[in-house]
Structures are given as C-alpha cells and as structure tokens.
Chains A and B, each alone.
Chain A
Amino acid sequence: MSETQKARMLEGLAPRPLMPGNPYLPMPARVREIITETATIKTLRVVLEGEGAMERFHFEPGQVAQLSVFGVGEATFVINSPPSQKDYLQFSIMEVGEVTHALHNLSVGEQIGVRAPLGNFFPYEELRGKNIFFIGGGIGMAPVRTIMLHVLEQAKDYGSISLLYGARTPKDMSYQYELDDWLNHRDLHCTLCVDKAPEDWPHREGMIPNVLKELAPSPDNSVAVLCGPPIMIKFTVEALLGLGFAAHDILTTLERRMKCGIGICGRCNVGSRYVCTDGPVFRCDDIQAYL
C-alpha cells in the first residue's frame, strides 16, 4: 500500500459525530414546520423526539441524514440548518421519487424517522484565513446554505466570503425569504442569477458557469465550495479551473443513490471511496474522474 493510500485511510478516521447504537434504527422525529419553497421543493423543519434529544444531537455542516417515512422508505438529505440551530433540523426536499413524494405529503405534527448524522463535513477549520466562494445551483443551495451560515457566524476568521446562487427561473429559487438578508449581509458578497430572467429581475441572467466567468473571482488564497446538479458541477468545476483555482481548492458534494448510509451496502462508491462515509464532501482532485 502506498503512502498516499495510507494517508487517505487515516483521513477517513478523523473524529466526527457518528450515530450511536444500531445504525439502521431511525430516531423518531416530528415535523414542526413546512415551508413551500418552489413548485417542487419543500423545506421540512423537524424536531427529534425525546427529552433532551435535540440538545444531545451534534453534527457538522455538510453531514446528511436519512429520512424515513415508515412504510415507504428512506432517502438522503443534507441537514441544511447550521449546527448552531438547536430548535430544529432543516431539510429541503425536491419531489422526484416515492420517498420525496411521501415527505411532501406530510403534515405538521406527523412522525418520521431520522438516521443522522451521516457522512463527512466541510473542512471549515482548514479554510480559516481563506477567501471562500460559495456556489449553489438549484436544490444544491441546501448544503451550501449550512456551511455558508456556519462560516458567516465566524466571518472574522475568514477572508472575503462570496455567494453565487443560481436557479432556472426566479420561481425555482428556494430560500426567497432569506435572499434579502444574504444580499444585505455585511460579510457576504451575494450574487443571484437565473438562466432565463423576466423583465423585472434585478439580478444577473445566465448559467452559473458563465456568470462565474464574468465575476472572475481570484484564486489567490481562495477556495470554492459548490453544490448543484451533476451537469452544473461539471461545467462549474471547468470554469473554476479556467480561472486558475487548483482542483484541491474546489470543494463539492457528490450525490449518489444510497441505502445503508454507513459504508456497507455497496451502492454509492466512486472508485474505492464511498460517498456516504468518505463523502459527501470531496476535494475535486480526489474525484475529478467521476464528475
């Protein structure tokens, strides 16, 4: 085994919050609030059941959860509230398949299951002192939201913090109720864009990779953090490389179909690495062949 392989294996052993007990057994949780974001996306705020359960629950930004609708199944979602939010866990869910359909049909007060925290997280300690350029495409804004809010809580530890958030149309943009906060945040340079803009759209028009090229952030002492659909990631990574960002300084999340979420069932691997335990956060130099 080579030295780099050993180093990679050690990396996987870094301490992080893990689920206690039987890892297949979901924790009971209750839907506290439902926000309709777009025609296809709803945000659920859920509260873990049991005395002190929310206080005891720790996670890092970027970690994910398997949400259960008992009788229908499980699917994976990033926890998109920051760790400092101890009142609830937030998940933004696009209705695509059976489980997301069932999640969309839930009412406030209904019970679901949560297996969390799963996966690794954004290495925000390593990013201290650097400029961070966040890029969220569509529902990919969910994981970006967590790490961005977390970093903004300690903005003085970082260089400049920027966000480029894009969606197909203004109506496809989640977190509309927060956009003004982000645009006016004193520590955040926020740019919004849509692929096709109506006349009254005051922000940018264009695909994320193109708008990114126009903004042309400097790669000096900078990292880019991006999430979005596979095609957007592919072209945005190309654009970042073109701007001079090193692949190592581009962080993204990979999504794969998952079942166990704990590195066993064999479904979500990219090469020898498992998105559920080695990811979902990767540096691009590790996974470029799989983008």
Chain B
Amino acid sequence: MSNDRFLAKDALGDFLCHCQGLGYTVYSPQKQEGVRESVVFAPWQKGCEIQLAKATVSPKHLLLPQSEVLFRFRHEKGEEGKSSAVHLEDTSQQAQPTLLFAARPCDARGFTMVDRPYLQGLYADPYYAKRREGLCVLTLCCNSGCESCFCHWTGGGPSSPEGSDILMTDIAEGLVLQAITEKGRKLLAQSDLPEAGAASDQATELRRKAWQSLDKAPDLTEAPHKLKELADNLDFWTEQSRACLSCGACTYVCPTCYCFSISDERRFSGMEEGVRLRSWDTCMARHFTEEASGHNPRALKAQRLQNRISHKYAGYPENWGSFSCSGCGRCVTHCPVGIDIRHIVLAAIALPDTQAKEARS
C-alpha cells in the first residue's frame, strides 16, 4: 500500500474543493430533515457539513436520476395544425463529471450490478454510459458489519473494491486513500495529499478486524436453482408477501433496482413541444406490467415479490453470473411491514426440491 495517501479529517473540505477545481461536481452524504432524519447523497459545497455516515438511500441517482430527459421534441405545424415535421434534440451526452465521496462498498458494488444490463447487453444505454464514464467513486470502507446488512452473503465485504476508484479507510484522525483504478490513481496523483506511510498498516489492520466482525454467511449457491423451481409456487409467494403493501420502498432505496418507465410530457401551449422522460419505476406496483387491455401478467403482489426476489437471486445470476443484490440491507431497514429478503432467500433454499416443484405437477 505504498502509494496510499493520507487525508486528515480537518483537510476534507480542502480536498473536496480541490476535486471541484478538477471539474467534478462533488456529492457527499448529507443530513436531511424530514419526518425521520435521513442521510442522502447531495451536492457538496464549501461550508457543507461533511458526513461519513452510511446514507439512508443509495447513490444510484448519480447514474440513474429519478427523472431525466431522453430527448426534447418540437413539432412544426403544417396545414390545419397537423404535425408536418418533428425535430428531436438528443440529450444523451450532457452529463458532467461527478465525484461521489464516501459511498459504501455495497453502494459501489451496486454500480457494477447495474453496469451489466446498462452497458454489456445487446444495447448500451448512452445516458448511463456517459454518466458512468464521468463518475469517480471514493468509497469509505465499513469498520464493522451492521445488523441489517449482509454484503458478505452476496460476495462482497466491508472493504470490497468492486465499483470503486478509491477505497478510503477511516483511522479516526483521518482517512487512508488507496487507489483502485487508473482514474483513482490519477486523482491521487493530482492531489497534494501526503503519503500515508505507517497509517496504511493501521488501515489494513482495521479492515482485517472489520471482516472478522462479520457473522458466518450462509451458502447461497442453491438460491438461483431453488428460486427457479419456486417460480410458480403461488402458495410460497402468497405467504411471503402476505404483509406487503406494494409501496415500492424496497426498490427506491435499493442500489441495484434499476427499472424505469418512459413517458412524454408536453408544454401546456399544446402539441408544439415537450420532452420524453425516463423515471424510476417499481416492479412492486400493480400497474408496472398492466397492459392497456387490462391483462396483467403480475397482477398479484405474490407474483411481484416473486419477480423482484427471483430477479436478484435467480434471473440476473443466470444472465450475468452474479447476484444483483449487494447486501446493503436498506430494503430490510425500510420495509414498513418488515419483509426481509434474507429470510425469503433462506426459506427458498430450505425447501426440499419436491415441495418447491409441487405447484407445477
């Protein structure tokens, strides 16, 4: 770790100012008042308090804004007010470089899980690609596990480097910064932060202790297979979803839920101009798959919960070779009725094969 740099706590503001000087818009965790006080990733400005707490919601909005313009359209009117031509303005390349400060390893690993469908499928998403290319991720390692998170169940851990450009370890008086990617190396090289020296060893020791603090993770190898067997076992899913309100909170706080809707908005002036928007959507809502005819392949909340859990632990693994759950635990913390994804996956694994298949025969 000889190239590590040291960032003293009282120099955090100067460092973030320096990053702004490099052209980055800086996002950091910040307290937000509300019914319940929360911590959200928001634009940082000189003078803002610097939070290192784990955020209430994930930073996925830096890559997938809650709502964004896909293009603008403007009609040219011909005879009788009929549209004779439409002009489209592509807005896919407008994103500016962004620096994310103090994400957690589950957040950063979440990015890699969203990257696959958005960048490595049959089509690449140009809006996402532009944002991703301009995003520099500085991740704060967790110094211990916590009650509701389970990153180590899904292949991660408190200092997993996946998705991060720089890993930061909090050693009380300051942060030890370790470059993971070329982008991260460049950022550290451009800074005037001192070398970490002996602080690096301290950081290594803290990371080791953090891993040791985790409880033993159950083996989830069988999860994809078992969930697939359970796909049409409505009894199982009815039981698991009994309390579900279909509120979608789980999908909004999730770092790897990436479903969206597309809709048009036009100005009140009439048909002349408007925008096509894409916005976050939730597969837990009944209307998500409801067709104009009224037909709905996932009309029941049992079917919707089945789809969400099975996507993360069966369908996505089948397509991309990894779970699409980074184990951040936010859905567990924020579900108003206490549905716990860990319990559902374990219940699926615990079912003997014959029982899982029952509904099929």
Contact = CB atoms under 8 A, between A and B. Distances in A.
Contacts of B78: 109
Interface string A23-58: 111101000000000000000000000000000000
Contacts of B315: 269, 271-272
B84 A256 contact: no
A73 B274 CA distance: 11
Contacts of A22: 90, 92, 126
Interface in A1-37: 1, 5, 9, 12, 18-19, 22-26, 28
A263 B122 contact: yes
Nearest to B128: A264
A152 interface: no
A70 B123 contact: no
Interface in B79-98: 82-86, 88, 90, 92
B121 A260 contact: no
B83 A111 contact: yes
Interface stretch (B16-24, B242-250, B284-292): B284-292
Given A264-B258, A269-B311, A290-B297, A97 B83 contact: no
A269 B307 contact: yes
A265 B84 contact: no
Contact of B262 (A97, A100, A265, A290): A265
Contact of A265 (B83, B86, B231, B260): B260
Interface string A50-68: 0000000000000000001
Contact of A24 (B70, B261, B290): B70
Contacts of A272: 314-316, 318-319
Interface string A80-112: 000000000000000011111000000101110
A168 interface: no
B266 interface: yes
Contacts of B316: 272
Interface in B269-303: 271, 274, 276, 278, 281, 283, 288-293, 295, 297
Contacts, number: 138
Given A12-B122, A70-B73, A277-B122, A266 B360 contact: no
> What is the interface residue range for chain A against chain B?
35 or more
A97 B274 contact: no
Contact of A70 (B90, B274, B307): B274
Interface string B210-253: 00000000000000000010011000000000000000000000
B117 interface: yes
Give the contact-size bracket for chain B.
35 or more
B75 interface: yes
Contacts of B263: 73
Given A25-B90, A71-B274, A289-B231, A264 B118 contact: yes
A5 B318 contact: yes
Contact of B289 (A75, A256, A262): A256
Interface of B: 70-71, 73, 75, 78, 82-86, 88, 90, 92, 117-118, 121-123, 125-127, 228, 231-232, 258-264, 266, 271, 274, 276, 278, 281, 283, 288-293, 295, 297, 307, 310-311, 314-316, 318-319, 321, 360
26 contacts: A18-B122, A23-B125, A24-B92, A25-B70, A25-B88, A25-B92, A68-B276, A71-B73, A71-B266, A73-B264, A107-B82, A109-B84, A110-B82, A111-B75, A256-B289, A257-B288, A257-B289, A259-B261, A260-B260, A263-B123, A264-B258, A265-B281, A267-B283, A269-B307, A272-B314, A272-B318
Interface of A: 1, 5, 9, 12, 18-19, 22-26, 28, 68, 70-75, 96-100, 107, 109-111, 113, 230, 255-257, 259-260, 262-272, 277, 289-290
Given A5-B318, A70-B274, 8 more contacts: A28-B85, A70-B266, A73-B264, A75-B292, A111-B86, A262-B121, A263-B117, A263-B123
